[in-house]
Structure 1
Amino acid sequence: MADEKQEDLARLFEAVAHPARIQMLKILQEKPRKFSELKEMLDIKSSGNLTHHLNKLEGIVVNLADGTYQITTEGKRALFLVSMLSERKRKGVIASYLLLSASLFYAIWLTFAYYLGPFTAHVPLVGLGFSVLFYCLLRLIVKKETNREDWQFLWSPLHKL
């Protein structure tokens, strides 16, 4: 039973493992399309190539009696999973940039403090305070782009150290 589920999952991932097939699912999500429409919209020159992609999408896309291709419920789920994974990756990159920006701000603060004035014990602490404020400001700016789950995803490898 578990092997069947793993095989189904492997087939699903294989089906959406090509950009043309993902694009095809997005097109078919709008409405059913004929073979020639798909070929033109995907800018695929070879009918054999399109047939190959459609065969890979067996069970995710069905050929209706009138010759149109339609996305199945399983196909809609697959497309949803692909979009969720790509969104999570994008948000993880944004979270990484925020952390990197705050770290760079702190390094620049220490560099300027060292070269421009007396470097006392409180300079690193003030710099750290400003870095935290800078980080919070950046976080507020992109709050709509990220969520708590992304930050946990970013920090989880560090907690294992």
Structure 2
Amino acid sequence: MVSSNSHIENGNQGKTEASLFDEISHDARIRILFMIRDHELGFSELKQQLEIKSSGNLQHHLGKLGTLIYLNEEGLYSLTDNGKEAIMAIRAVRRTLNQQKSDRIIVALILTFSSYVGFMNGTFLFGTVTAQTPLFALWMAFFMGIFMYLAWPLIYRRSQKEPISDSSGKDEKDSISEASLFESIAHESRINTIFVLQNGHLGFSELKKKLNLTSSGNLQHHINKLGNLIEQNSDGLYMLTDSGREAVSAIQAIRSMQDRLKINLTAMIFIGSLIYYTVILTTPFILGTVNPLTPLEALVISVAFGAIFYIIFSAAHKVIINQKAESSIWIKEE
């Protein structure tokens, strides 16, 4: 039996993404990882909680998990460092899938209400408004929304054309923990440094000039703080290590998350305005007060509604960003 993770850290951290995916390619194995994440469990407890009748079946899954779990001195299963990384990978995949579902619903809603608004305004424009116009517009909008919802998976797949880079063969001695990474890039000058070095190798003087720093001591301090994110080559030029390139990817991911929040905010306001416009446009048909100026009146009111909520939600968004900045790194896009 193994009492520590040292054998995992020394010999097996070079596992490829493919082998990791193979290890977690079954629902039972994913459940095992999450079950022993907070509490170490024995074989019998795992078998009972998983409701697996066959001991051989459970042993098969435990064997497939490989270096993601280990058996401690008390005979309980626990996560290795690789196992904790696997959980983070699973969570990342779940977030991506949830985001795809969210995008699918948002796009379908926007198309639905846009179709309704477009059809309604078209009848006013061509002078063909009747009492049944809202009903026809509703059916048209419903059809368009369902069509977009069903077609979205195909549209999404075609939009994902970027190749996936293969970094499975990198030297693991340059690996860095999340906490150390965040500490290393917790300053705007250090963030600028790794992005400048992303474009090429630079000497100390060139780097100082690129960063617009006046103090050599200040630059040396930031270089020291960057740790193993950068290194000097045989010519004395500073360059990114594999960990440095990972840091760049991490910062870009954070910026992408910020952009996602802004996009979601805009989508919420746009959908809200469309819904409000739809209500204002349809209500006169119900009350029998429709007139040629109804679309214009509905437009003015809904635009005012959207502007007010944009101001409110933007203020709330800034408050959320400031709160997040106290506990994590949020990068200001220059």
The two structures have a TM-score, normalised by structure 2, of: 0.34
Q: State the SS of the aligned residue for 2:78.
A: strand
Q: By how many angstroms is 1:110 displaced?
A: 1.8
Structure ranking higher in helix proportion: 1
- The answer to whether the aligner puts 1:71 opposite 2:83 as a matched pair is no
The one of 43, 46, 53 aligned to 2:54:
46
2-structure distance, mates of 1:132, 1:30:
36
> In the alignment, which residue of structure 2 is the partner of 1:33?
41
* Structure with bigger gyration radius: 2
> In the alignment, which residue of structure 2 is the partner of 1:107?
115
2-structure distance, mates of 1:87, 1:132:
19
Q: By how many angstroms is 1:133 displaced?
A: 5.5
Specify the code of the residue in structure 1 equivalent to 2:66.
E
Deviates more, 1:44-53 or 1:92-101: 92-101
Retained in 2: the 8 A contact 1:61–1:75?
Answer: yes
RCO (CA 8 Å, sep 6+): is it higher in 1 or 2?
Answer: 1
Specify the code of the residue in structure 1 equivalent to 2:27.
P
Question: Could you list the per-position Cα deviations for residues 77-117 of structure 1 after superposition, in whole angstroms to 9, with x for gaps in the alignment?
Answer: 001111111111101210221122111211111222234x2
> In the alignment, which residue of structure 2 is the partner of 1:91?
99
Judged with a 3 Å threshold, the aligned counterparts in structure 2 of structure 1 residues 105 and 39 are, in CA distance, closer, same or farther, namely same
Q: By how many angstroms is 1:136 displaced?
A: 6.6
1-structure distance, mates of 2:101, 2:50:
29
Deviates more, 1:103-112 or 1:33-42: 103-112
> In the alignment, which residue of structure 1 is the partner of 2:125?
118
Count of aligned positions: 126
Q: By how many angstroms is 1:134 displaced?
A: 3.0
Give aligned-pair identity as a percent.
29
Question: Could you list the per-position Cα deviations for residues 113-137 of structure 1 after superposition, in whole angstroms to 9, with x for gaps in the alignment?
Answer: 234x2338xxxxxxxxxx9963376
> In the alignment, which residue of structure 2 is the partner of 1:134?
270
Q: By how many angstroms is 1:32 displaced?
A: 1.0
Runs of 5+ consecutive residues of structure 2 not aligned to the other structure: 1-12, 128-266, 275-309, 318-334
Specify the code of the residue in structure 1 equivalent to 2:45.
E
2-structure distance, mates of 1:119, 1:99:
28
Specify the code of the residue in structure 1 equivalent to 2:39.
K
Specify the code of the residue in structure 1 equivalent to 2:114.
Y
Q: State the SS of the aligned residue for 2:16.
A: helix
1-structure distance, mates of 2:109, 2:48:
44
Runs of 5+ consecutive residues of structure 1 not aligned to the other structure: 121-130, 144-161
2-structure distance, mates of 1:98, 1:134:
10
The one of 30, 35, 52 aligned to 1:22:
30
